[in-house]
Chains A and B, each alone.
Chain A
Amino acid sequence: MNKKTRVAVAGITGRQGSFHTRLMLEEGTNIVAGVVPSKGGQDFDGIPIYNTMLEARLMQEVEACAIFVPAAKAAQSILDAIDAGIGVISAITDGIPIHDMLKVKQRLKGENISLIGPNTPGLITPKQAKLGIMPSVAYKPGCVGVMSRSGSLSYEVCHELSKAGLGQTTVVGVGGDMIRGVNFADLLPLFEMDPETKAIMIVGEIGGVDEERAATIIKKGYSKPVVAIIAGMSAPAGKAMGHSSAIIFEGKGTFKSKVTALQDAGVKVVHYPKDAVRALLSLL
């Protein structure tokens, strides 16, 4: 993702879509198309609108898209983007029914497409491109690759990093839903290949097995230092904490199991955002 990447926004005329399209443009994002069924032929601040993602791709060579379509129709919008062959799909929408997402995952099988989210702040390469909703004030260009399960918590962590002069190469929110596209395990090799990224920051939380799987990969041998913060240390067992994936699943996914797995893989685990800064500075 850089300032040349050609981006389309699905739902560009909606309340969130229009507000954040302007903020994405401010960040430097190269938005070349909007997609709104029945509004094809119109434009948004000079950006042409198409009825379908396929049309947008054919007319504007769209490479990536951000989806701001309301929950009830968002899965269909993701499916349309997959059918149109868009390589990176950032699904911002929150509240998509899980059974809809099961269908999306079926469709994704065998495709070389990165779905980010849903229920994610998206991804950002500071001052170059943003496919999402993160507050720009928290981000600076730099050398830390950040991946996170929670939007708000990643803002907090990146804000602390930026204040300490630790900018970011790319920040990716994998999303808070149980069924989602890319996971930490998919992103680790990408950050490893990226020459700009010198260290990785994992922003995790209780529930799911993403952190444990990341730990397995890192343990096999990873060439860059990794720091992790896990939210939910003081959570009572068995309560779903807002994110539907933050349900403790069959004994896996507890705070302890995540911390143990990550530490065992040589990851420095910290409890509070400030400590993340110290840990990264000591490793760089």
Chain B
Amino acid sequence: MDLLEHQAKEIFTRYGIPVPKGVVLYNESGLTDALAIIGVDKFGVVKAQVLTGGRGKAGGIAVVDSIQQAGRAISTIQNTKIRGLIAEKVLIEERLDIKQEYFLSITIDPDTSLPTLLISSKGGMDIEEIANESPASIFKYPIDPPKGVISSEVIELAESAGVHHALLGSVEEIIYNLYQVFCEKEATLIEINPLVVSKDDKLIAADARLSIDNNALFRHPEFDQLKNERREMLLRDKGIDYIDLGDGEVGLLCVGAGMTMLTMDLVAQWGSKAKCFMDISHGVNLEGFSAALRLLSSEQNIKYVLVNMFGGLTRMDEIAKYMLQAIETIGDRFPKPMILRLQGTNARDGVSIMQQAGYEVCTELEELMTIFKGMTQRQNEYFGE
């Protein structure tokens, strides 16, 4: 689960990592208090709280001088789609006098199965951009978990990366604290970009990224509230991996990530586009199917629903029964064109159950293609496209 910038910064503060003074606002009320907290001379920067990189370029960050300007910036930001996302809240922060920008992150390197620190003195850009423009500036340090971050080694690394001498100690301290957060919160990624060096030679985390391992959330009740605010996390609790793919017209419901991906590729090859990715591997029960089908029926951009399953662990007759029970909770019939392909464990029973209920269902991928193409064609003719 990715945290918003302000949520990550709240955790940083608790672990002694310096962040700018700031206030979270849902609208312009509260700006007077924000001004008082931040101080007139450093007021302020308005930042959209959305889960995407490149907010600056997408119009999600504004520098302001007064409460009036800040108010206008908030309403502009909230009315702009930032890489397809709407900002419900903004973080308004003090302006920093920037002398230099560093980059720090800890993530897990799948090659070595070790937490790995990345450091660069060319922060401010995306890591991909840094990697493109000055790959030699990125320094990598694999962390051996039992030993943790060894301070002499990290100082040496920071020095090679071009961190200013006077700041080596402070950088080491921040890295130590970052690693504490990484371990204690069971993060998969923690990143400060940029880590600002101010004109008075102080280090401050101007931005913050933190992703928590979804598999570990069960032992971190401190994130329960955040989890309940996210649609994809709520679906996850019901056993569904849900990803909004942006624009597209087909809602996919599959078992297994690989199968869902293949189906997404097939839909593209058949001349259409998937709107969402839904892997129901762990939600094969009435609750899971009800949640999935309710979303598929209510999401306006989804015109067709494609169910493609090859059951190993999951039994197709169970799938069919849950589908029909779940549809009953919505209405007499599923309200959108839906086709199914059921294969694997107990497929024959599953197919006949769905057929009896009057749904188009097949067992092979080629048949699915023929039915799918026929369905989209009929719809296009019907709507005169």
Contact = CB atoms under 8 A, between A and B. Distances in A.
A251 B310 CA distance: 31
Contacts of B175: none
Given A99-B183, A133-B313, A241 B257 contact: yes
A84 interface: no
B128 A151 contact: no
A103 B145 contact: yes
Given A94-B281, A234-B264, A150 B215 contact: no
A102 B345 contact: no
B110 A178 contact: yes
28 contacts: A98-B188, A99-B183, A103-B145, A133-B313, A134-B312, A135-B344, A137-B345, A150-B261, A152-B254, A152-B256, A155-B259, A155-B310, A156-B343, A159-B343, A176-B257, A203-B258, A205-B257, A206-B261, A209-B110, A231-B261, A236-B245, A241-B261, A241-B277, A242-B260, A244-B213, A249-B110, A250-B131, A271-B269
A281 interface: no
A250 B254 CA distance: 28
A154 B145 CA distance: 34
A231 B345 contact: no
A105 interface: yes
Contacts of B131: 250-251
Chain A CB within 10 Å, residue with most, of B186, B269, B279, B310: B310
Interface string A229-240: 001111110011
A250 B344 contact: no
A18 interface: no
B258 A274 contact: no
Interface in A88-115: 94-103, 105-106
Interface in B234-290: 241, 243, 245-246, 254-262, 264-269, 273-274, 277, 279, 281-282
Interface residues of A, number: 61
A242 B241 CA distance: 6
A98 B108 contact: yes
B347 to A, nearest CB: 8
A11 interface: no
Interface stretch (B28-36, B87-95, B111-119, B149-157): B111-119
A141 to B, nearest CB: 19
Given A98-B215, A135-B310, A106 B145 contact: yes
Listed from nearest, the 9 A-B pairs whose CB atoms lie closest are: A150-B258, A152-B256, A242-B257, A153-B258, A152-B259, A97-B216, A234-B268, A231-B261, A105-B113
A152 B310 contact: yes
B146 interface: yes
* Majority DSSP secondary structure for residues of A touching B: loop
A102 B108 CA distance: 9
Contact of A156 (B127, B215, B218, B262): B262
A161 interface: no
Contacts of B110: 178-179, 208-209, 245, 249
A232 B261 CA distance: 5
Interface in B214-230: 214-216, 218-219
A156 B266 CA distance: 13
B223 to A, nearest CB: 13
How many chain B residues sit at the interface, stated as a range, is 35 or more
Contacts of A241: 243, 257, 260-261, 277
A247 to B, nearest CB: 9
B108 A152 contact: no
A20 B312 CA distance: 10
Contacts of B108: 98, 102, 178-179
Contacts of A143: none
A251 to B, nearest CB: 6
A162 to B, nearest CB: 12
A232 B216 contact: no
A272 B127 CA distance: 34
B311 interface: yes
A151 B312 contact: yes
Contact of B265 (A100, A208, A232): A232
A152 B113 contact: no
Contact of A239 (B215, B245, B255, B256): B245
A97 B186 contact: yes
B216 A152 contact: no
Contacts of A246: 257, 261
A16 interface: yes
Contact of A231 (B115, B186, B262, B267): B262
A220 B8 CA distance: 45
Nearest to A154: B258
Contacts of B216: 97-100
A4 B120 CA distance: 55
A34 interface: no
Contact of A155 (B219, B282, B312, B366): B312
Contacts of B274: 234
A156 B255 contact: no
A148 B256 CA distance: 13
B365 A273 contact: yes
Contacts of A251: 128, 131
B111 A209 contact: yes
A249 B186 CA distance: 19
Contact of B257 (A133, A138, A243): A243
A74 B110 CA distance: 20
Given A102-B113, A236-B246, A271-B269, A205 B261 contact: yes
Interface in B111-154: 111, 113-115, 127-128, 131, 145-146
A103 B259 CA distance: 30
